Chain A
Amino acid sequence: MRSPELCAGDIQAHIPGISDVAFIDRGGQKAVFACAIGGYRYALKLLCAEVDETEVAADATERAIREVATLRECQTPHLVQLGPYELTPVEIHGRAYLYFTEELVDGEDLRSVLRTGPLEAVAVARLGHEVSSAIGCLWEKRRIHRDVKPANIMRRRADGSFVLLDVGLVFDLDETSLTLTGYIPGTLPYLSPERTDLSRKREIDFRSDLFSLGIVMYEALTCVHPFRQGASSSDEVLANILTGVPPPPSQVRSSATDLLDPAIMQLLAKRPHLRFRTVERFQAALAETGLLQE
């Protein structure tokens, strides 16, 4: 199934109560538009609702249902918030679609931010604290994000805080798996070692997201991916994730503080039992660095 190929005009013409629609992005299964509802800006996500020749459309619908449920249940300023429209059917040009709205974060995604250089240590500590809050909030509902990466983290323009986006790959340990057999959802350079073992899918917990956050923090501090160094193929990146031990961030970028080295390196431990056993313990380790500001 492909994401809908509709234009902003199609959306504005068929979905009531919205205005100022603008195309943002098109992913594998969803198209994303910006729009205004009641004077506020939101992101509108649209996906095909028809079950066509594949099972993927049904899968995408199930994912969207789960995404909306997750957004509804997990309330933290560091996880994108659900907008006024929950999952709603609409027919456009004779085809059935589903859409929902969520907060449109005014800011820049971390991938773009890092193109201009690394973050200061204080900002990296804040990034770790805030994104881990989102991970912890998801885990309170027995959910795992599974796609923590710079492109899914926004820095708000207004106050510099960080928001975790795109819970479309969230895994609910208490629900049926939506992933096709043999397919590992997520983004390879940010996978935790245990995520590569499909037989352990139900044993995975929030510590997998913490591993991905460790990669993000490492990158944010150094502009270097800890497992891409020296790798020329995705297989080598995967091998590095499974067995490679990167140098501490402060050894990669001499101007980076070493205060964050212990916490980041613990996040990057190969086994979950060697990471932090709660989000709060990770945040306490960040607080001990003295880098977290009130």
Chain B
Amino acid sequence: MPILVQHGWGRTNKLDEALGADLASGAILSPRDETPDGMAQLVAQLRGSYPQATLLFDPQFYAATIPQARDRHLPSYPYYRPLLSRSEFGLSAIRALVPPVLNYQANLDLSRIIAPTIALDDMSDRWSQIAIYLCQESVDCHAALQAAPPLLLSVVVSENALATGRGLDDFLDEITALNCHGFYIIVERSQSYAQRFDDRRLAALMYMVHVLGHVNRFEVIVGYTDLAGMLLRAAGAHAWACGWSQSLRQFSRTRFRPVTGGRRARERYTSLPLLNSVLLSEVDACQQAQVLNRVLSGSPYDQQIEQADTPLGANWQKEVSALHHWWVLAALEATASRGNVNQRLAACSAAISRARGVYAMLGQAGIRLAPPSDSGHLDDWRNAIDAFTKSVG
């Protein structure tokens, strides 16, 4: 099953439980959130317990350009150099920066090696050229490694950069010429946690994934996808990743920026019929309106809610919520992975239509869900499918 756990802060035993319950086939590990010794132990333990698991290590080099980054354990990794400015990415500097990143991973028992990259806010500016230099250098460096796992080049791009599509075609022309096994893609979201995704940006991301994964047959792994990963999988991604907390389900560089306050996220329930996550209080409202079964996902974890007097009173702990979320992703994976691209997209469209129907039914039952629990994302996704389909002919 090509769903990976996006590892991060607060691991406890969530990784083990997800892999043990067969809800994920592997993990993308975060050095920011483990010491080097802890990382080595974690890889060894996971490899020992799950020999077939796909284990990846995101070097998180993109954090190196963030001033005063909240990079936790990253500076203790031998390859990491914080506070790199653009002037420090000359060709000779890049030649020096890349090998330690790849060599570090080559010494762990990983399934793939992920190349270092920097985050892009524009796909045609000077930073994008630096990103391509990093890719090229990684290809050259990887070729010199003996018996190393296959190389994934990484692309970290803000969704704003996908908004206009400017430079995307040129960028794709360049990276598709590189001799690598595949790509690890992360898109930085520009809003707080929600399933909404600007349709043009999502369509552009689908196009990127399609070109790399389907047209050019690279292995494409998309990180931090959350539920919209279903569409990326349908478009040609080979695997998608999602973590146990909101900050690990959708990517934002704010995770690496100094804390400016905030409050603890309220508990949410991931509803397969709605293709969304909703507040437990909203699930409560559904129970009161006697339409609870229409929004429940059918996972084995639902019994926590079904057996409680009220959903709000359920013992819906973070660990359970995380396992349930991956269970929903697995169900979406089944939807988005059968047949050719057209058939997959048709299946996604059908799921979106069904979700619209459930939202309409809730409306008729007098339940008005507020953003981000409302149905706005369904329009985004539907429009993105249309725009993507148009772009690939």
A residues whose Cβ falls under 8 Å from a Cβ of B: 194, 203, 205, 207, 245, 266, 271-274, 277, 281
Q: How many angstroms between the C-alpha atoms of A288 and B174 in the bound complex?
A: 27
Q: How many angstroms between the C-alpha atoms of A277 and B170 in the bound complex?
A: 15
Q: How many angstroms between the C-alpha atoms of A26 and B92 in the bound complex?
A: 48
A203: chain B residues at CB < 8 Å are 170, 173-174
Q: Report if B215 contacts A (CB, 8 A).
A: yes
Q: Interface code B158-187, partner A: CB below 8 Å = 1, 0 otherwise?
A: 000000000001101111110000000000
18 pairs of residues in contact across A and B, judged by CB atoms under 8 Å: A203-B170, A203-B173, A203-B174, A205-B177, A207-B177, A245-B393, A266-B215, A271-B172, A271-B173, A272-B176, A273-B169, A273-B176, A273-B215, A273-B216, A274-B211, A274-B215, A277-B177, A277-B216
Q: How large is the interface on B (under 10, 10 to 19, 20 to 34, 35 or more residues)?
A: 10 to 19
Q: Interface code B203-217, partner A: CB below 8 Å = 1, 0 otherwise?
A: 000000001000111
Known interface pairs A273-B176, A277-B216; 12 further A-B residue pairs with C-beta atoms within 8 A, sorted by A's residue number: A245-B393, A266-B215, A271-B169, A271-B173, A272-B177, A273-B175, A273-B211, A273-B216, A274-B215, A277-B176, A277-B218, A281-B217
A277: chain B residues at CB < 8 Å are 176-177, 216-218
Q: How many angstroms between the C-alpha atoms of A280 and B211 in the bound complex?
A: 18
Q: How many angstroms between the C-alpha atoms of A205 and B178 in the bound complex?
A: 11
A274: chain B residues at CB < 8 Å are 211, 215
Q: How many angstroms between the C-alpha atoms of A129 and B355 in the bound complex?
A: 48
B216: chain A residues at CB < 8 Å are 273, 277
Residue of chain A at shortest CB distance from B176: A273
Q: How many angstroms between the C-alpha atoms of A59 and B212 in the bound complex?
A: 39
Residue of chain A at shortest CB distance from B212: A273
B218: chain A residues at CB < 8 Å are 277
Q: How many angstroms between the C-alpha atoms of A211 and B300 in the bound complex?
A: 53
Of A207, A272, A277, the most chain B CB neighbours within 10 A belong to A277
User: Which residue of the partner chain, among B172, B217, B393, contacts A273 with CB atoms under 8 Å?
Assistant: B172
Q: How many angstroms between the C-alpha atoms of A277 and B173 in the bound complex?
A: 10
Of B211, B215, B217, B393, the most chain A CB neighbours within 10 A belong to B215
B217: chain A residues at CB < 8 Å are 277, 281
B residues whose Cβ falls under 8 Å from a Cβ of A: 169-170, 172-177, 211, 215-218, 393
A266: chain B residues at CB < 8 Å are 215
Within the complex, the shortest CB–CB distance from B84 to chain A, in Å, comes to: 26
Q: How many angstroms between the C-alpha atoms of A272 and B303 in the bound complex?
A: 52
Residue of chain B at shortest CB distance from A206: B177
A271: chain B residues at CB < 8 Å are 169, 172-173
B215: chain A residues at CB < 8 Å are 266, 273-274
Within the complex, the shortest CB–CB distance from A263 to chain B, in Å, comes to: 13
B393: chain A residues at CB < 8 Å are 245
Q: How many angstroms between the C-alpha atoms of A207 and B295 in the bound complex?
A: 50
Sorted from nearest, which 5 A-B pairs have the closest CB atoms?
A273-B172, A273-B176, A277-B216, A272-B173, A273-B173
Q: How many angstroms between the C-alpha atoms of A203 and B176 in the bound complex?
A: 12
Residue of chain B at shortest CB distance from A245: B393
Within the complex, the shortest CB–CB distance from B126 to chain A, in Å, comes to: 16
Residue of chain B at shortest CB distance from A284: B217
Q: How many angstroms between the C-alpha atoms of A229 and B176 in the bound complex?
A: 31
Q: How many angstroms between the C-alpha atoms of A254 and B38 in the bound complex?
A: 66
Q: How many angstroms between the C-alpha atoms of A277 and B176 in the bound complex?
A: 6
Q: How many angstroms between the C-alpha atoms of A172 and B385 in the bound complex?
A: 41
Residue of chain A at shortest CB distance from B218: A277
Residue of chain A at shortest CB distance from B393: A245
A272: chain B residues at CB < 8 Å are 173, 176-177
Q: How many angstroms between the C-alpha atoms of A205 and B173 in the bound complex?
A: 10
Q: How many angstroms between the C-alpha atoms of A274 and B215 in the bound complex?
A: 6
B176: chain A residues at CB < 8 Å are 272-273, 277
Within the complex, the shortest CB–CB distance from B42 to chain A, in Å, comes to: 35
B177: chain A residues at CB < 8 Å are 205, 207, 272, 277
Q: How many angstroms between the C-alpha atoms of A271 and B215 in the bound complex?
A: 12
B175: chain A residues at CB < 8 Å are 273
Residue of chain A at shortest CB distance from B392: A274
Q: How many angstroms between the C-alpha atoms of A205 and B216 in the bound complex?
A: 15
Q: How many angstroms between the C-alpha atoms of A205 and B218 in the bound complex?
A: 19
B169: chain A residues at CB < 8 Å are 271, 273
Within the complex, the shortest CB–CB distance from A253 to chain B, in Å, comes to: 22
Q: How many angstroms between the C-alpha atoms of A15 and B359 in the bound complex?
A: 88
Q: How many angstroms between the C-alpha atoms of A70 and B246 in the bound complex?
A: 56
A194: chain B residues at CB < 8 Å are 173
Q: How many angstroms between the C-alpha atoms of A277 and B139 in the bound complex?
A: 15
B174: chain A residues at CB < 8 Å are 203
Residue of chain A at shortest CB distance from B178: A277
Q: How many angstroms between the C-alpha atoms of A55 and B55 in the bound complex?
A: 59
Within the complex, the shortest CB–CB distance from A266 to chain B, in Å, comes to: 8
Residue of chain B at shortest CB distance from A272: B173
Q: How many angstroms between the C-alpha atoms of A273 and B173 in the bound complex?
A: 5
Q: How many angstroms between the C-alpha atoms of A281 and B211 in the bound complex?
A: 15
Q: How many angstroms between the C-alpha atoms of A273 and B178 in the bound complex?
A: 11
Within the complex, the shortest CB–CB distance from A164 to chain B, in Å, comes to: 21
Within the complex, the shortest CB–CB distance from B53 to chain A, in Å, comes to: 29
Residue of chain A at shortest CB distance from B175: A273
Q: How many angstroms between the C-alpha atoms of A271 and B216 in the bound complex?
A: 12
Q: How many angstroms between the C-alpha atoms of A266 and B217 in the bound complex?
A: 13
Within the complex, the shortest CB–CB distance from A180 to chain B, in Å, comes to: 25
Within the complex, the shortest CB–CB distance from A135 to chain B, in Å, comes to: 14
Residue of chain A at shortest CB distance from B172: A273
Within the complex, the shortest CB–CB distance from A136 to chain B, in Å, comes to: 13
B211: chain A residues at CB < 8 Å are 273-274
Within the complex, the shortest CB–CB distance from A249 to chain B, in Å, comes to: 17
B172: chain A residues at CB < 8 Å are 271, 273
Q: How many angstroms between the C-alpha atoms of A281 and B217 in the bound complex?
A: 9
Within the complex, the shortest CB–CB distance from B392 to chain A, in Å, comes to: 9
Q: How many angstroms between the C-alpha atoms of A281 and B218 in the bound complex?
A: 12
